[in-house]
Amino acid sequence: MTGLYLGLMSGTSMDGIDAVLASDDAGPRVLGHIHHPFSPALRETLMALNASGGDELHRAAQAANAVAMGYAAAISALLAQTGKSAADVTAAGCHGQTVRHQPGAGYTLQLLNGALLAELSGIRIVCDFRSRDIAAGGTGAPLVPAFHHAVFSHPQRSRAIVNIGGMANITCLPAGGEVSGFDCGPGGALMDGWIMEHQHSAYDAGGAWAASGKPLPELLERLLAHEFFSLPPPKSTGRETFNLQWIRNALTGGAAPADVQSTLCELTAAAIAGALNMHCADAAEVFLCGGGARNDSLRARLGERLPGRRIATTDELGIAAELVEAAAFAWLAARTLASEPGNLPRVTGARGPRVLGAVYPA
Ligand SMILES: Nc1ncnc2c1ncn2[C@@H]1O[C@H](COP(=O)(O)OP(=O)(O)O)[C@@H](O)[C@H]1O
Ligand SMILES: [Mg+2]
């Protein structure tokens, strides 16, 4: 990766757009970043597109335009903030907004009008990274483990990277061994949904509400019985599987909302810890990234469930937790333009390494 790249990520939590300006002239470095929240209206539109409904082709096309306009505004603000212009940037790696992820049915859908974004930004756009991996028989996710391996691995220390967004995924980086990774279950999406329903907040800041309640052991046990948790990798998941309706179906009535929140926090911790114990047993260092790394209750519960391991955030490794995934898409765009593969077949189950993405020239 030489030159300047932009990386833009909007994940399953649907909180908005994280954008970074990155360079690799002295190791991958983030030179600037910005977060643009989605407007409540766009968030609602995108959330509704996670399920079938009337006139959805038109609604999806309009939403893809709105996402492109949001990405363009984030790019413009980030360039102004860093004193750069479009001409300084080699390309922007853009994730788009997942509204369906159905590798079993042969597709995944990240809404983003790449042509419109190239037109609005004057920058070469690389997007639709996941489809090629699925075309090659993979699950299309997670794609971040290759980046985690490139920037966070250590020759003598076995590490694990845990990305906690709306869903959570794990990358195992054994010292001198082969990288592996998979989605391990829900990240913050269930906690976000529950606190929105009961307290009208977008997320549980610091996990304070979860900390005010007590986990409900029977509910936790019912939720952990979901077959996804015991499936062997490769595996990936999304809102199709882990959503509030699933929680409502598991509730027997009479539970205090704060105790349910506490249980959902425990569920995320248990899913992550279980996956680490099963697949990254020798990783003595666990680095958290994604917005969920800022959930103190979740970190405390992870600490309890992972005795003997050091739990930290990727801030320590030089990339702030909330910027890692956007930085990964800047890196993936550079891989694409260099005709280098971006997927790891061991992780996604694809038939082989593939150069990912679709390119819209500036
Ligand atoms: N201070 C915080 N305390 C608790 N949770 C947080 C905090 N900041 C962010 N989060 C969580 O992180 C999520 C966003 O993380 P992000 O990495 O952007 O996920 P995604 O890629 O799915 O959008 C929020 O929805 C929220 O659940
Ligand atoms: Mg996000």
The tens digit of pLDDT for each residue in 139-182 reads: 999 999 999 999 999 999 999 999 999 999 999 999 988 999 99
* Domain at 74, CATH number: 3.30.420.40
- Please check whether residues 130 and 163 belong to one and the same domain: no
**36 has which bridge partners?**
17
Residues 174 and 101 grouped into a single domain:
no
334 and 24 Cβ atoms separated by less than 8 Å: yes
116/199 same-domain check: no
298 CA from centroid of ligand 1 (Å): 12
Parts of the chain with a pLDDT under 50: none
Strand 125-127 versus strand 89-94 pairing type: parallel
Q: Whose CA is nearest to atom 27 of ligand 1?
A: 188
Considering only CA atoms, which residue is closest to atom 17 of ligand 1?
Answer: 290
Q: What is the pLDDT of residue 253?
A: 87
- Whether residues 329 and 304 fall in one domain: no
Considering the domain architecture, whether residues 78 and 32 belong to the same structural domain is answered as yes
Distance CA 144, CA 283 (A): 18
Rounded Cα distance, 10 and 97, in Å: 6
Nearest-angstrom CA–CA distance, 50 and 98:
8
Backbone φ and ψ of 324, nearest 5°? -65, -45
Structural domains counted in the chain? 2
Amino acid at residue number 93 = G
84 lies in the same domain as 208: no
pLDDT at 27 (0 to 100): 64
Residues 279 and 328 in one domain: no
Please give the distance, rounded to the nearest whole angstrom, from the Cα atom of residue 201 to the centre of ligand 2. 15
Residues having CB within 6 Å of any atom of ligand 1: 9, 11-13, 15, 18, 165-166, 188, 192, 203-207, 290-292, 294-295, 322, 325
Contact yes or no for 132/46 (Cβ under 8 A): no
Residues 122 and 161 in one domain: no
Query: Ligand 1 atom closest to Cα of 205?
Result: 3
Report the residue among 10, 14, 15, 322 best suited for mutation to probe ligand 1: largest number of ligand atoms under 8 A from its CB. Answer: 15
Print the SS3 string covering 291-320: HHHHCHHHHHHHHHHCCCCEEEEHHHHCCC
Nearest atom (ligand 1) to Cα of 289: 17
286, 205: one domain: yes
283 shares its domain with 334 = no
Q: Ligand 1 centre and the CA of 290: distance in Å?
A: 6
Nearest CA to ligand 1 atom 21: 11
Task: Please tell me the distance from the alpha carbon of residue 121 to that of residue 251, in angstroms, as a whole number.
Answer: 47
Supply the pLDDT for residue 25: 64
Q: 56-63 contacts: CB < 8 A, separation 24 or more?
A: 60/99, 60/109, 60/111, 61/113, 63/97, 63/99, 63/111
- Residue 8: CA count within 13 A, CB half-sphere: 37
**What is the pLDDT at residue 323?**
97
Q: Which of 18, 46, 295 to mutate to test the pocket of ligand 1 (most atoms within 8 A of CB)?
A: 295
**Shared-domain flag, residues 148 and 264:** yes
Residue 180 tokens read as: 């592996």
Residues 288 and 345 in one domain: no
Full residue range of the structural domain in which residue 87 is found = 4-141+323-360
Cβ-contact 63, 112 below 8 angstroms: no
